[in-house]
C-alpha cells in the first residue's frame, strides 16, 4: 500500500490547508503528483494555496471553503472529493485555532470555539473520511497533534485540552478498527514548535505578540514528515527532540515540569513586542487575504526535523524497566557472595 501511495496518482484531503503546516503538507503531496483537496474557511487564501499547490506538481486540485466545526459541511465535502477523485486515500486533520490567554480571562464561548475546531473538527473529518474509506476498506487518517497533547502549557489551556482529546479519540477508534479487522490505518503526528502565521492570527489577551516556544522548525520540514507518516503509517510519530523532551519529561517528572513552566511558560511564548493596532484574529472568522506557509520567525527556524517513532522508544524503556528486578537480584547475589567470602 505504501508503494502504491508514493507512485500512484492517489487522493488526499487536508484541512487547515490555506496556510502553515496544512499548506506545507499539501505541497509535500503535490510534489509527488497526488490529487489534492484543500479545506479551509477563507476562499481567497484557499485559492492562493491552490495556485501554489498546482504549480508544485499536483495532478488535480480542488478547494472546499468550509468550517470544520460544521459536521454536515465536512461530510458533504468528503462525498464531493470521493466523487471527483474516485475515493479518498488519505485524510489529514490539521485545522486548528487557539487563544493565548490565562483561563481566568477567557469566556465559555472561546473555550467552545477552540474545542469545536481543534477537537471536533478532527472528529468530523475522521468520521467523514471513514464513511468513504470503508467502501474500499482502505485508507489512512492522519491526526496532526502536538507535544502539547501530552504536556499542557500555560496560556493555551483550550488548545492543549483539545489536543489531549484528539489523542484519546484516536486511541479509542484505533481499537475499534482492530476489532473490525479493518485495513484503514490511523496515525498521529505530534508536532514541535513550528514557524507558521498562527501566532499572528490567534486571539491574544496578553498584550504582547506571541511566538512558538523555541526551538522552532520550518513548516516545510513538518509537511514532509506528515507525508511520510501518511504513506508509511505508524501508530504515532513524534517530531523533533523538543517534542521528545517535553513528552518524556512530563511523564517522568510532572511536578518539576509544572514548576519550570510556571517560571518560563509565559515568557517563552511572548516576544515583549506590543500587539499591532487593529489586529484581527481568526477565532470566529478567517483572516482575509492571501495566506502563507511560513510565519515571521524564519531567521530562528530549523529546516530539518527528526521523526521519532515512540513505539521503539517505549520498547527500549519497557525492556529496561523489566530488567531492573533481575539486575537488582544479581547485585544482591554478588553482594551476598562477597559477604560469605569475607566472613
Given 119, 150, 159, 266, which residue is catalytic? 159
Buried b / exposed e over 155-192, threshold 16 CB at 10 Å, is: bbbbbbbbbbbbbebbeebbeebeeeebebbbbbbbbb
E strands of 115-168, at which residues? 140-146
CB 306 within 8 A of CB 240: yes
> CA 224 from chain center: how many Å?
13
Question: Taking Cα atoms as reference points, which of 60, 77, 69 lies closest to residue 11?
Answer: 60
CB 269 within 8 A of CB 213: yes
CB 219 within 8 A of CB 24: yes
CA separation, residue 69 to residues 13, 113, 170, 198 (Å): 16, 8, 18, 18
Q: How many Å apart are CA 195 and CA 296, to the nearest integer?
A: 7
The yes-or-no answer on residue 150 being catalytic is: no
Omega of the bond prior to 123 within 30 degrees of 0, cis? no
CB 14 within 8 A of CB 34: no
Q: How many Å apart are CA 78 and CA 18, to the nearest integer?
A: 18
The set of catalytic residues is 159
Amino acid at each position: 500500500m505504501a508503494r502504491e501511495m508514493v507512485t500512484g496518482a492517489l487522493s488526499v484531503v487536508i484541512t487547515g490547508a490555506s496556510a502553515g503546516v496544512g499548506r506545507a503538507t499539501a505541497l509535500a503531496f503535490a510534489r509527488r503528483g497526488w490529487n489534492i483537496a484543500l479545506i479551509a474557511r477563507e476562499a481567497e487564501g484557499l485559492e492562493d494555496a491552490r495556485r501554489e499547490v498546482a504549480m508544485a506538481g499536483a495532478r488535480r486540485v480542488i478547494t472546499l471553503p468550509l468550517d470544520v466545526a460544521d459536521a454536515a459541511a465536512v461530510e458533504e465535502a468528503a462525498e464531493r472529493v470521493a466523487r471527483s477523485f474516485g475515493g479518498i486515500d488519505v485524510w489529514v486533520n490539521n485545522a486548528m485555532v487557539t487563544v493565548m490567554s490565562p483561563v481566568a480571562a477567557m469566556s465559555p464561548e472561546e473555550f467552545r470555539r477552540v474545542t469545536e475546531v481543534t477537537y471536533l473538527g478532527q472528529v468530523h473529518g475522521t468520521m467523514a473520511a471513514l464513511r468513504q474509506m470503508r467502501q474500499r476498506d482502505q485508507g489512512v487518517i492522519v491526526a496532526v497533534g502536538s507535544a502539547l497533547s501530552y504536556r499542557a502549557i500555560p496560556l493555551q489551556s483550550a488548545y492543549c485540552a483539545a489536543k489531549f482529546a484528539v489523542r484519546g479519540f484516536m486511541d479509542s477508534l484505533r481499537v475499534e478498527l482492530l476489532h473490525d479487522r479493518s485495513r484503514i490505518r490511523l496515525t498521529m503526528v505530534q508536532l514541535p514548535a513550528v514557524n507558521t502565521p498562527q501566532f499572528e492570527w490567534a486571539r491574544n489577551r496578553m498584550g504582547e505578540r506571541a511566538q512558538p516556544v523555541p526551538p522552532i522548525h520550518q513548516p516545510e520540514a513538518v509537511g514532509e514528515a506528515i507525508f511520510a507518516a501518511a504513506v508509511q503509517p505508524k501508530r504515532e510519530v513524534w517530531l523533533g527532540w523538543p517534542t521528545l523532551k517535553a513528552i518524556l519529561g512530563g511523564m517522568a517528572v510532572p511536578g518539576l515540569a509544572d514548576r519550570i513552566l510556571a517560571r518560563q511558560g509565559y515568557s517563552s511564548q511572548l516576544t515583549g513586542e506590543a500587539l499591532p493596532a487593529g489586529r484581527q484574529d481568526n477565532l470566529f472568522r478567517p483572516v482575509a487575504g492571501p495566506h502563507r506557509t511560513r510565519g515571521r520567525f524564519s531567521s530562528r527556524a530549523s529546516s530539518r526535523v527528526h521523526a521519532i517513532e515512540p513505539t521503539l522508544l517505549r520498547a527500549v524503556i519497557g525492556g529496561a524497566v523489566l530488567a531492573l528486578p533481575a539486575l537488582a537480584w544479581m547485585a544482591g547475589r554478588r553482594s551476598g557472595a562477597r559477604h560469605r567470602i569475607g566472613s
